[in-house]
Amino acid sequence: MATQDTATVDLSTTTNPTKVSRQPGIYERLNTALRSFRVLKDLTPEQVDSFMKSYVIYDLDWANEKQMIEVLGPDYQKKVGQCLSDYYAVLNHLCAIGELEKMYVPPILDASASVITNQILYEELVASELQLPPNAKVLDIGCGRGRVAAHMTEMTDAHVTGLNIDTDQLASAVEYNKLVNFSNTFVHQDMNELPLPFANEHFDGFYQIQAFSLCKDLPKLCDELFRVLRPGARLSLLDWASLEAYNPKDPHHQELMRCVKPIIGAVGTPTPESMIAALEGAGFRMIRHYVGGINGLQAPFLERLKSYFYTARWAMQGLTTVGLLPMHFRTLFNRMTQDSDAFIEADRTRLITTCYHWVAEKPGGKRDSSSANEEGGVGGGSEEAGSRGEGERGGVEAAGKVEAKALNEQSAELEARA
């Protein structure tokens, strides 16, 4: 199994993307924040209530199906999907008011720079790691508002297909990518509804950022990724994981976990090893995996974001008190900032991280020999897993093929929403 001991990645050791990344300007950021502010102001009581009720799923875990059924009923997977849609339809606008329009806290690659700059640095790293060919097709699961997809196209000229469960975010993704003259495609689908609506060996690369904690069955999803990726294609994952220091029998650790999961929107609780097992079981060969960023901590950014959103919460409390804003602003910001200290403590004590990074490759293609050198000769067992998985995937290959017409119709519907 390929590993990387250091928690810091030197960007100078990777191949730089072909284009310089563009920072969002002040006007663009203000415009985005104001638009999200207006959406939040006009939320109906039903939308606010649905958002607050959606938090029930973060007291649950995919691993405990019995509890899922007891709380949500036998169709719990569908119920989780609806809760996620209700949750992100509001949360994406709360995040867009600050530095989190892309809805993830990145690994700290430059401690002196902003959260947004570090997001850009991380996305440049992903573009380099994927080693995309010309005219590449890339899949992004959990694409959110499509900003990362646009950045990937800006850097590599790849065509990105983004998949997301929330139509509100997808409409924003379509609008934004059209604004910057990119023809990226966006598909409305729950990642837990398999097979994925794509043909075999359709994509040249895959990335996801903090979305797989919402995945019900990682091995099955990784099987699907193996099916839709071409031989030699790479995937890059950034997600949350519980680390070795976490003790599930420790009451304080349990309480921290209970507090953290609603903040980051996690239903599952993966470990680095469970992700590796799912990838290798599907046939992928691990290239590297590690806790990303300087010293493997995100706490400095988390503390900065806490200060910003606590200030915003204080302002909302004042404005709602004098009647200048509806009272639900207070409700939303109180819920969003709840238990942030627990998140910071869990990160500082290295019980969890939201920036664990995995890079893997589908065997075959022209990169096999160079990938073996990059791994340092480690990673045995993946070939066997790949051959074992071929027969198991046979039943889903035909099911995964879809006509381009269906995707075009869905894109047109999302564009109409925008």
Residue 394 in this model has a pLDDT that exceeds 90? no
Residues 317-362: tens digit of each pLDDT = 999 999 999 999 999 999 999 999 999 999 999 999 999 999 999 9
Mean pLDDT throughout 372-382?
40
> Is residue 332 situated within a structural domain?
yes
> Would 62 be classed as within a structural domain?
no
Q: Look at residue 310 and tell me if it is in a domain.
A: yes
Question: Is residue 412's pLDDT more than 60?
Answer: no
- For 195-247, the DSSP string reads S-SS-TT-EEEEEEES-GGG-S-HHHHHHHHHHHEEEEEEEEEEEEEE-TT--
Which residue has 């051959």 as its token pair?
Answer: 387
Highest-confidence segment of 16-20, 164-168, 197-201, 262-266: 197-201
- Indicate whether 10 pLDDT > 70: no
What average pLDDT does this structure show over 92-119? Answer: 92
- pLDDT tens-digit series, residues 188-208: 999 999 999 999 999 999 999
- Asked if residue 205 is part of any domain, the answer here is yes
Overall domain count for the chain: 1
**N-term to C-term CA, the chain:** 45
Question: What's the pLDDT score for residue 184?
Answer: 98
Measured between alpha carbons, how far is 115 from 121 in angstroms, rounded to an integer?
Answer: 10
| Distances 302 to 108, 121, 253, 316 between C-alpha atoms, Å | 11, 18, 19, 21
Whether the per-residue pLDDT at 101 is higher than 50: the answer is yes
pLDDT at 182 over 80: yes
Per-residue model confidence (pLDDT) at position 23: 66
The confidence band for 11, taking pLDDT boundaries of 50, 70 and 90, is very low
Does the pLDDT of residue 72 top 50, yes or no? Answer: yes
pLDDT band per the 50, 70, 90 thresholds, residue 128: very high
**Per-residue pLDDT tens over the stretch 293-315:** 999 999 999 999 999 999 999 99
pLDDT grade, residue 370 (50/70/90)? Answer: low
* Beta-sheet pairing, 185-188 with 159-164: parallel
Cross-strand pairs, 358: 237, 289
CA-nearest of 18, 265, 270 to 144 is 265
User: Could you tell me if residue 28 is inside a domain?
Assistant: no
Confirm whether 317 is domain-assigned: yes
Angle (CA) 205 210 211, round 5°: 75
What integer pLDDT is reported at residue 33 of this predicted model? 87
CA distance 391 to 121: 39
What residue numbers bound the domain in which 279 lies? 11-22+108-417
Q: Give the CATH number for residue 207.
A: 3.40.50.150
Residue 227 has pLDDT above 80, yes or no: yes
Tell me if 362 is assigned to some domain: yes
pLDDT at 234: 99
For residue 197 the two structure tokens come to 């609506």
Q: How far apart are CA 184 and CA 223, in angstroms?
A: 24
In angstroms, the CA 218 to CA 231 distance is 20
| Residue 24: predicted pLDDT | 67
Helix axes 147-156, 115-130, angle to 10 degrees: 50
- Digit-coded pLDDT (tens) for 25-48: 777 778 888 999 999 999 999 999
For 31, half-sphere exposure in the C-beta direction (CA atoms, 13 angstrom radius) is 6
108-116: average pLDDT: 94
> In Å, what is the CA distance from 353 to each residue of 225, 287, 320, 345?
24, 20, 35, 11
Whether 216 is covered by a domain: the verdict is: yes
Q: In this predicted structure, what is the pLDDT of residue 16?
A: 42
